[in-house]
Amino acid sequence: MQRIEVIPLRGLPEVEKGDDLVRLILDAMGRAGTEAEGGDVFVVKQKVVSKAEGRVVALQDVQPSRKARALAKEQGKDPRLVELILQESVRVVRAAHGVIITETKHGFVCANSGIDQSNVGRGFAALLPVDSDLSARRLRRGLEKGTGVSLAVVVTDTFGRPWRRGQTDVAIGCSGIAPLLPYAGRKDRYGYELRVTEPAIVDEIAGAAELATGKLTGIPASIVRGVEYERSEVGAKALIMPKGRDLFR
Helices 66-75 and 79-87: angle between axes, nearest 10 degrees? 120
Inter-residue contact 92 to 74 (CB < 8 Å):
no
With respect to residue 246, please indicate whether it lies within any of the assigned structural domains: no
Phi, psi of 121 (to 5 degrees): 95, 145
- Does 119 share its domain with 134? no
Q: Which residues of 205-243 are buried (b: 16+ CB within 10 A; e: fewer)?
A: bbbbbbebbeeeeebbbbbbeebebeeeeebbbebeeee
- Does 98 share its domain with 215? no
C-alpha distances (whole Å) from 94 to each of 3, 65, 99 are: 41, 19, 8
The structure's pTM equals: 0.92
With respect to residue 171, please indicate whether it lies within any of the assigned structural domains: yes
Number of domains in the chain: 2
- Does 45 share its domain with 150? yes
**Beta strand extents in 176-227 (DSSP E only):** 221-225
pLDDT of residue 245: 79
With respect to residue 142, please indicate whether it lies within any of the assigned structural domains: yes
pLDDT of residue 217: 78
- Does 179 share its domain with 115? no
Task: Supply the CATH number for residue 119's domain.
Answer: 3.90.1660.10
With residue 5 as reference, give the H or E element that holds it: strand 5-8
With respect to residue 247, please indicate whether it lies within any of the assigned structural domains: no
- Does 140 share its domain with 200? yes
**CA dihedral of 180, 184, 186, 188, whole degrees rounded to 10:** 90
- Does 80 share its domain with 142? no
- Does 113 share its domain with 10? no
- Does 22 share its domain with 45? yes
- Does 44 share its domain with 142? yes
Inter-residue contact 180 to 199 (CB < 8 Å):
yes
**End position of a domain, from candidates 107, 126, 145:** 126
Structural domain boundaries, residue 85? 57-126
Count other Cβ atoms within 10 Å, centred on residue 19. Answer: 16
CA angle 118, 111, 43 (to 5 degrees): 60
Spatial CA neighbour of 22 closest among 116, 151, 126: 151
**End position of a domain, from candidates 75, 91, 126:** 126
With respect to residue 112, please indicate whether it lies within any of the assigned structural domains: yes
- Does 170 share its domain with 48? yes
- Show pLDDT as tens, one digit a residue, over the chain (249 residues): 578 999 999 989 999 999 999 999 999 999 999 999 999 999 999 999 999 999 999 999 999 999 999 999 999 999 999 999 999 999 999 999 999 999 999 999 999 999 988 888 889 999 999 999 999 999 999 999 999 999 999 999 999 888 888 999 999 999 999 999 775 556 556 665 555 567 899 999 999 999 988 776 789 999 999 999 999 999 999 999 888 777 766
215: left (phi over 0), alpha (psi -120 to 50) or beta: alpha
With respect to residue 145, please indicate whether it lies within any of the assigned structural domains: yes
- d(CA 74, CA 86) in angstroms, rounded, equals 15
118 burial class (0-12, 13-18, 19+ CB within 10 angstroms)?
exposed
**End position of a domain, from candidates 109, 126, 143:** 126
- Does 16 share its domain with 69? no
- d(CA 10, CA 32) in angstroms, rounded, equals 8
- Does 104 share its domain with 203? no
Inter-residue contact 226 to 4 (CB < 8 Å):
yes
pLDDT of residue 215: 73
pLDDT of residue 143: 98
Name beta bridge partners: 95.
100
